Chains A and B, each alone.
Chain A
Amino acid sequence: MMTNDKAGGVNRRDFLATSGKTAIGAAMVVGAGTLLLPTQGWGMELKALKPETMATMIQMARDIYPHDHIGDKFYAKAMRAHDDGAADDAEKLAMLENGIADLDKRAGENGYLGLGWEEDRVAILHDIEDSGFFQAMRGSLVVGLYNQKALWPLFGYEGASAHKGGYIERGFDDIEWV
C-alpha cells in the first residue's frame, strides 16, 4: 500500500525542459512573488518570503521528513504558514531569510538546492539542528505536514470514522495473518 506513489512524484526533467522561467529544485518561480509546483498542479502566491527562499524551504522540509511517496505540494502547504507568519512579523521574516541564506552559504557555490544528494544536505542540517531556525522549521512541520487530512490516506490512515459508524462493521478485526 505504501509502495504506490499515489501523490505523483516530481520529475526533475519536467521543469528543466520548461523555458523562460527559473526553475529551482522541483519548483518554479513565476514572477516576483509566485511559486509553482508544475508537476503537482499547485502554486502559491507569496506574501513576504522570496520565492527562492520558499523553494529551498520546501526542499529542507522534505529533507527533514523524507517521504518519497509524498508529493512536494504537501511540504509546500506546510511551509506556507511561515510565509503567512512572516507577512506581519519582520523578525520572523528575517529569521527565515537568514536561515536559508546560511544554508546556501554552508552548501557552497550552488547553494543548498545545488547539492544533489540528500545525504549532503542532511549533513548541513545536522550542523544547524540546535538553532532556533531549524527548530522552528521542524516544530511547525511535524504538525503542518502530518496534520493534513489529504495526506492521511497516503499513510493508510482513514481519519474520522464516527460518521461512518466506526469500524465495527468495517474491519476493526479483519487481519488474518497472526
Chain B
Amino acid sequence: MAAPYDLNDDSVVVVIGSGAGGGTLGNELAQKGIDTVILEAGGRHEAEDFINDEWGSFGQLAWLDKRTTSGDWRVAKDFSGLPAWIVKAVGGSTTHWAGASLRFQPHEWKAKTTYGDVEGASLLDWPIDAEEMAPYYSKAEDKMGVTNTHGIPPLPGNNNYKVFEAGAKKLGYKQVHTGNMAINSQDRDGRTYCQQSGFCFQGCKFSAKWSTLYAEIPKGEATGKLEVRANAHVLQIQHGDDGKVTGVLYADADGNQHVQKARVVAVAGNSIESPRLLLNSASSMFSDGLANSSGMVGKNYMRHMTASVYASFDKPVNFYRGTTMAGIIQDESVHDPSRGFVGGYEMETLALGVPFMAAFLNPGAWGRQFAAAMDTYDHMAGMWIVGEDMPQESNAVSLSEEKDQYGLPAPNVHFSDHANDVAMRNHAWKQGMAVYDAVGATQTYPTPPYPSTHNLGTNRMSADAKDGVVNKWGQTHDIANLFVSDGSQFTTGAAENPTLTIVSLAIRQADYIAEQMGQKAI
C-alpha cells in the first residue's frame, strides 16, 4: 500500500505525535518500506510561516490545552496552567527547540549503580548502556548535523558566547566551546547554514536548525510510505479481546471523531500527553490504563534540574543576536559528590527577547529592582543551567478533575524538588554568577526554572516489568504491539539536553519494530 491510508487499513503502524521521537520514528519506518501514519494533534506550519516574535510564535505553536499543576515547585504558582513549554504542531517541540545535542556520559546510563541509594529517589539503571547506544548516537548526530561531530565545524560564537567564554576561562573552566548543536554551521542536507537570527525558540525560518518538520517528515513522505495527518488529536488507544492494541480514536480539526486501525501503535506525545493518553485509555480489561500493570504510567516525572543566570555589564552585549544556545561549559557535568550532590550539570548560553525576559527573569517580581534589571537589557548576558534531577515516584502526571476541550480528564503535573536538585541548583547558581563576576558583571540574577521544556520519565524503561512501563526497546512490558517512542521512556534524565537521546532511541526502535514485524511477532 501507499500513503494516504484508509481508516480501516489495519496493516499500518500508527505513530502518535510528530516531534523528536515520533517524527524520527515515522521517517525511519517509512525508509524501511513500512506503511506508517503519523497522527499529530497540531497543525502544519512550514518554516516560512514561523514568526520572529516571542508571544506571537508561542501563540502559533505552543500546546495550550487545559493542564493543571500541583507540588511545591514555583512554576505551580507562577504559571499554574502552563507546567510545560511544549509544542502542538507538526514537528512537535523540535520546532521550538534550541538544538543542543549532547550524548549521555557512560555512567549516566547506570545512575543507580553510580550514585547508590539516594533517599527519596526512585533511581534505576537503564537496561541499555553507552556501548550499545554509541552507533545510534552516531547515526543521530549525522542525521541531525550536530556540530563538532562527523567533521562538522563548530558554530561561530556570538556576543553572548564571548562574555560566557571569557568568564569561564577566567574561572579556570576548561571545557568551553560553542556546543554540539543540531544547527548547520555550513550547508548540509539540503539546508542552509545558521544566519544568526536569534529566534531559535520561535522556529528557524531558515531551516538551519534540525527539526522533524523539514528534516525528517518530508523524506518519509517522499517514500510514499508515510502519511502525516495534522490536526488529528488522539483521544484513546483501543484494544481487542486478546489485549493487543487495534487502533486509535482521534478527533479531526472539526472535532469529528474517527478510528484509525493499526497493526502497531507508537506513542510519542511528549511526557505529559503520552502517559495521559495511556491513562485515558483505561478499559474493563486494563482498568488502571494501558500498559500500567506496574502502576508506573505517569510516575517518576522528571524535568531536569534547571535554572538560569543573567548578568548586567557596564558595556553593551546585545545577547539576543545570534544562536540562542550555542555555547557550553561542561566542567560541572561530572559526577563529583564532594560538591554536595550526585550527578552533574551543564551551563549553556541563553538569550531571551524583551517580552520573555520580562515574563521569566523573576516571575511575579515588580518594582524598581526588577525594572532596573530590565533597563540593562542590551547590556545583559545569560546562561541556562541543566542538570540531572532525581526521579521521585511522587512526581507524577495524573488525571486531573478538570476536563479538556474533548471532555477528557486533563493532565495534572505534580512536581517538588528533591533535596539533591536543590543542592545542585544552588551550586549552579553560584558558579554561573561567578562566571559573569569574573568578567566584571555589575549585577547578577539567579533566575528560577521556567515551565518545563524537558519533560521525561513518565513511561520509564526498565529491565524488570514491575519497575517501569517499557522494555529496552521502548516496547510496553504489557502489550507487545504498543510502543513508547518519546522522552517519557527515560529511566533517568542525565545532565544533558534529551533530544539527541530521544532521536537515537527512535532510530534504534525502528530497527526493532521492523525486525519484529518481519518475524510476525507483532
Contacts and interface: CB of A to CB of B under 8 A. Distances in A.
Contacts of A163: 52
B520 interface: no
Interface of B: 52-55, 156-159, 161-163, 166, 194-199, 205-206, 315-318, 320-322, 353-355, 357-359, 364, 366-368, 370-371, 374-379, 439
A156 B206 contact: no
B354 A162 contact: no
A31 interface: no
30 contacts: A1-B316, A2-B376, A2-B378, A2-B379, A64-B366, A66-B367, A66-B371, A142-B358, A146-B374, A147-B54, A147-B55, A155-B375, A155-B378, A156-B377, A157-B353, A157-B354, A159-B53, A160-B53, A162-B52, A166-B197, A167-B322, A168-B194, A168-B195, A170-B321, A172-B156, A172-B321, A172-B322, A173-B159, A173-B162, A178-B163
B357 to A, nearest CB: 8
Interface of A: 1-2, 63-67, 69, 118, 122, 129, 138, 142-143, 145-147, 151-152, 155-163, 165-168, 170-175, 177-178
Contact of B206 (A64, A155, A166, A167): A166
Given A1-B378, A166-B195, A168-B196, A156 B367 contact: no
A161 B198 contact: yes
A88 to B, nearest CB: 23
A142 B354 contact: no
Contact of B320 (A67, A158, A165): A158
Nearest to A122: B367
Where chain A touches its partner, the secondary structure class is loop
A67 B368 CA distance: 8
Given A2-B378, A160-B53, A166-B198, A175 B318 contact: yes
Nearest to B439: A178
B374 A67 contact: yes
A146 B163 CA distance: 25
A173 B326 CA distance: 12
Given A156-B377, A167-B196, A175 B353 contact: no
Nearest to A139: B364
A155 B206 CA distance: 27
Contact of B159 (A122, A155, A158, A174): A174
Contact of A167 (B198, B358, B375): B198
State the majority secondary structure of interface residues on B: loop
A178 B162 contact: yes
A62 B159 CA distance: 32
Given A157-B353, A178-B439, A145 B358 contact: yes
A65 B361 CA distance: 13
A129 B364 CA distance: 10
A156 B318 contact: yes
A159 B353 contact: yes
A146 B195 contact: no
A134 to B, nearest CB: 9
A69 B358 CA distance: 17
A151 B377 CA distance: 12
Given A147-B55, A174-B159, A142 B367 contact: no
Nearest to B315: A177
Contact of A162 (B197, B370, B374): B197
Given A147-B55, A171-B321, A65 B353 contact: no
B320 A157 contact: yes
A118 B367 CA distance: 10
Q: 5 closest Cβ contacts across the A-B interface? A: A156-B378, A166-B195, A166-B197, A160-B52, A172-B322
A67 B375 CA distance: 7
Given A146-B358, A173-B162, A177-B315, A66 B368 contact: yes
Contacts of B355: 143, 146-147
B514 to A, nearest CB: 39
A151 B355 CA distance: 10
A65 B370 contact: yes
Nearest to A152: B354
Contacts of B375: 2, 67, 69, 155
A163 B53 CA distance: 12
A86 B191 CA distance: 49
B321 A167 contact: yes
A118 B368 CA distance: 10
Contacts of B317: 175
A2 B158 CA distance: 22
A162 to B, nearest CB: 4
Nearest to A151: B354
A163 B48 CA distance: 11
B48 to A, nearest CB: 10
Contacts of A143: 55, 355, 358-359
A155 B321 contact: no
A28 B357 CA distance: 33
Given A67-B374, A159-B52, A175-B315, 12 more contacts: A2-B376, A63-B367, A64-B366, A142-B358, A143-B55, A146-B354, A146-B359, A159-B353, A160-B199, A170-B321, A175-B159, A175-B317
